[in-house]
Amino acid sequence: MGNGPDSEKIKDVINKNGLEKQIILLGQKRNPYVWMKNAKLFVHSSFYEGFGLVLVEAMICGKVVLSSDCPVGPKEILSKENCGVLFKTGDVIDFSKKLLELANKDLSLYQEKIKNRIEEFKIEKIMKEYEKII
């Protein structure tokens, strides 16, 4: 979902490998949450990340996250893999292995941890932390 600078390269790889029926690129969508909510899991493959709000959004939608272990964000948000799984950034083999493991795993094991973790990101909790600083 979305449009990035590598969209055409990705389409070429899909076509060259005959994966048009297995992989669908949706392009930019006005409301990504409908798609997130109906997905089995959320995959995040960035090389770099700031806070990683999209990871929190996926968790709010109840999704287990498979994320690259890029600097700053995913490891902290996923609470060191208690709420999702990390793969080595840029490592296609590690990514593939962990994706297949998750695809065949009972993801409900993560659900309670995710529910507890997203409580940490609620505005009321964050405002109390800001008030302590001020």
pLDDT in tens, 51-95: 889 999 999 999 999 999 998 889 999 987 688 999 999 999 999
Q: State the average pLDDT over residues 8-33.
A: 91
Q: Report the pLDDT value the prediction gives residue 40, as an integer from 0 to 100.
A: 87
Residue 117 is assigned to a structural domain of this protein: yes
CATH assignment of the domain containing 118:
3.40.50.2000
Q: What are phi and psi of 45, to 5 degrees?
A: -120, 35
Question: Residue 87 in contact with residue 95, Cβ under 8 Å?
Answer: yes
Residue 7 is assigned to a structural domain of this protein: no
pLDDT, tens only, 40-51: 899 999 998 888
Q: Report the pLDDT value the prediction gives residue 124, as an integer from 0 to 100.
A: 92
> Among residues of the chain, what percentage have pLDDT more than 90?
54
* Residue from 65, 17, 3 nearest 39 by CA: 65
Residue 118 is assigned to a structural domain of this protein: yes
Band of the pLDDT at 3, cuts 50, 70, 90? confident
Band of the pLDDT at 6, cuts 50, 70, 90? confident
Could you count the other beta carbons within 10 Å of the beta carbon of residue 118? Answer: 17
Q: Report the pLDDT value the prediction gives residue 112, as an integer from 0 to 100.
A: 85
0.85 surpassed by pTM: no
Q: Mapping DSSP to helix (H, G, I), strand (E, B) and coil, where does residue 23 land? A: coil
Mean per-residue pLDDT over the chain, rounded: 90
Residue 106 is assigned to a structural domain of this protein: yes
Q: What are phi and psi of 6, to 5 degrees?
A: -100, 15
Q: Report the C-alpha gap between 71 and 12 in whole angstroms.
A: 29
Residue 39 is assigned to a structural domain of this protein: yes
What single DSSP character describes residue 71? S
Per the structure, the complete domain to which residue 84 belongs is given by 31-133
Q: How many domains does the chain have?
A: 1
